[in-house]
């Protein structure tokens, strides 16, 4: 497929490199000219346990490109989703498919406005991606992609096939809302608490108080998900949290990194979205709501 990666950050560069290495026709779109120039000049070097692979890539501003593209994979921050999809609207064809693998809730609804339910795919990924510099990505072979179509006759299968050719370990889910909400629960707990306390993952693991708050957030998120007809597994999410504690102790969450860099956070698309959904359904989320308010206070400062 002719594939557009919308947002050439760490995840965009990881997936762009993987797909290009597998022989797909990939273009990365970004708004930062410095990023575009670096990618066009030097390509992407991808480091994993197997070593380092290098691939040349194409990077553009959306307004400088002509379409159509078959697949659009959106990797922007949540607050940029609508403007990002609007920027590539002129590149959509009648059969174009939109895919969101972004953190949080609400992105698929935006994509459906542009692509339609039959041509919108949503999902999650747990592949790590650390951007050491533009065009230098450190990742792992251990990761997966879980996706599902949002229309009754969607395109998740063909997207998964392309991803699997690229070694991205994609699986099509019968109800993709479950892995999406489970990742939201994971991020709502770890990202919010890390951002409020300024602690990395390993520090949270050592604190009984942090563990108690994480358990409370997971329980609240499960209750909200249940009100939406989604059977979220606290045990599975808790296992993922323990895995993060054991294997990524030095990791600084993206929300904490954004705060320290003075950038906007995605709190309203992760924990904040859970709180809002709970409010609409009559499900209280006092612990998570307090953490989100504290993140916003830190952002305002």
Q: Containing domain of residue 78, as a range? A: 2-174
Q: Tell me: do 272 and 294 sit in the same domain.
A: yes
Residue that the structure tokens 């699997």 belong to: 164
Domains: count for the chain: 2
Q: Tell me: do 155 and 218 sit in the same domain.
A: no
- Above 80 in pLDDT, residue 152? no
Write the pLDDT tens digit of every residue in 158-175.
Answer: 999 999 999 999 999 999
Q: Tell me: do 17 and 49 sit in the same domain.
A: yes
Q: Is the peptide bond before 256 cis (omega within 30 degrees of 0)?
A: no
Give me the mean pLDDT over the 35-57 stretch.
97
- Above 70 in pLDDT, residue 7? yes
Write the pLDDT tens digit of every residue in 262-292.
Answer: 999 999 999 999 999 999 999 999 999 999 9
Hey, which residues does 73 pair with through a beta bridge? 5, 99
In the chain, the N- to C-terminal Cα span, in Å, equals 45
- Tell me which H or E stretch contains 48: strand 44-48
Give me the mean pLDDT over the 126-147 stretch.
92
Residue 142 is predicted with a pLDDT of 87
Listed in sequence order, the residues at least 6 apart from 67 whose beta carbon sits closer than 8 Å to its beta carbon are 88, 90, 91, 92, 93, 96
Q: Tell me: do 156 and 191 sit in the same domain.
A: no
Write the pLDDT tens digit of every residue in 239-259.
Answer: 999 999 998 898 889 899 899
- Tell me which H or E stretch contains 289: helix 286-300
Q: CA-to-CA distance for 177 and 146, rounded, in angstroms? A: 10
Q: Which of 139, 159, 174 is the last residue of a domain?
A: 174
Q: CA-to-CA distance for 166 and 21, rounded, in angstroms? A: 7
- Above 80 in pLDDT, residue 72? yes
Q: CA-to-CA distance for 36 and 33, rounded, in angstroms? A: 5
The answer to whether residues 44 and 17 touch, using CB atoms and an 8 Å cutoff, is yes
Residue 247 is predicted with a pLDDT of 86
Please report, for residues 65, 225, 264, 265, the alpha-carbon distance to residue 35 in angstroms, rounded to integers and kept in the order given: 16, 38, 20, 21
Give me the mean pLDDT over the 171-197 stretch.
96
Please report, for residues 40, 149, 162, 210, the alpha-carbon distance to residue 50 in angstroms, rounded to integers and kept in the order given: 25, 32, 21, 35
| Count of H-run helices and E-run strands, the chain | 12, 12
Q: Tell me: do 165 and 197 sit in the same domain.
A: no
Q: Which of 114, 147, 174 is the last residue of a domain?
A: 174
Q: Tell me: do 19 and 39 sit in the same domain.
A: yes
Q: CA-to-CA distance for 301 and 299, rounded, in angstroms? A: 5
Q: Tell me: do 163 and 182 sit in the same domain.
A: no
Q: Tell me: do 243 and 193 sit in the same domain.
A: yes
Angular region, 282: left φ>0, alpha ψ -120 to 50, beta rest: left
Q: Tell me: do 232 and 258 sit in the same domain.
A: yes
| Spacing of C-alpha 215 from chain mean position | 23
Give me the mean pLDDT over the 78-85 stretch.
95
- Label residue 301 by pLDDT band (50, 70, 90): low
Q: Which of 174, 199, 221 is the last residue of a domain?
A: 174
The rounded percent of the chain whose pLDDT value lies above 70 is 99
- Above 80 in pLDDT, residue 73? yes
Residue that the structure tokens 């939406």 belong to: 228
Look up the CATH number of the domain holding residue 184: 1.10.1040.10
- Tell me which H or E stretch contains 94: strand 92-100
- Label residue 120 by pLDDT band (50, 70, 90): very high
Q: Tell me: do 167 and 215 sit in the same domain.
A: no
Of 3, 6, 254, 270, the residue nearest 130 (C-alpha): 254
Hey, is 248 helix, strand or coil?
A: coil
Residue 113 is predicted with a pLDDT of 96
Q: Tell me: do 169 and 274 sit in the same domain.
A: no
**Residue 264 main-chain phi, psi, to 5 deg:** -60, 150
Write the pLDDT tens digit of every residue in 103-114.
Answer: 999 999 999 999
Q: Tell me: do 74 and 194 sit in the same domain.
A: no
pTM of the model: 0.91
Query: Average pLDDT of the chain?
Result: 95
Give me the mean pLDDT over the 51-71 stretch.
96
């Amino acid at each position: 497929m002719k594939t557009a990666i919308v947002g050439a950050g760490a995840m965009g560069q990881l997936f762009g490199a993987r797909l290009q290495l597998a022989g797909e026709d990939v273009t990365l779109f970004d708004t930062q000219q410095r990023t575009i120039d670096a990618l066009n000049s030097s390509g992407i070097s991808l480091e994993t346990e197997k070593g380092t692979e290098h691939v040349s890539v194409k990077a553009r501003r959306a307004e400088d490109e002509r379409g159509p593209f078959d697949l659009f994979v959106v990797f922007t921050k949540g607050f940029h989703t609508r403007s990002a999809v609007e920027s590539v609207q002129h590149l959509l064809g009648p059969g174009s498919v939109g895919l969101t693998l972004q953190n949080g809730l609400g992105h698929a609804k935006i994509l459906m406005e542009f692509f339609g339910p039959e041509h919108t795919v949503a999902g999650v990924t747990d592949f790590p991606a650390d951007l050491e510099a533009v065009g230098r990505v450190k990742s792992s072979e251990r990761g997966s992609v879980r996706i599902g179509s949002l229309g009754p006759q969607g395109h998740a299968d063909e997207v998964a096939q392309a991803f699997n050719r690229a070694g991205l370990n994609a699986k099509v889910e019968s109800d993709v809302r479950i892995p999406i909400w489970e990742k939201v629960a994971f991020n709502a707990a770890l990202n919010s608490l890390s951002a409020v306390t300024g602690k990395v993952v390993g520090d949270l693991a050592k604190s009984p108080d942090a563990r108690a708050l994480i358990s409370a957030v997971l329980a609240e998120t499960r209750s909200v998900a249940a009100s939406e007809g989604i059977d979220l597994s606290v045990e599975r999410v808790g296992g993922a949290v323990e895995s993060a504690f054991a294997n990524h102790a030095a990791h600084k969450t993206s929300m904490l990194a954004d705060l320290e860099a003075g950038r906007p956070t995605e709190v309203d698309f992760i924990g904040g979205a859970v709180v809002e959904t709970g409010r609409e359904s009559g499900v209280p989320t006092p612990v998570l709501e307090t953490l989100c308010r504290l993140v916003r206070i830190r952002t305002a400062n």
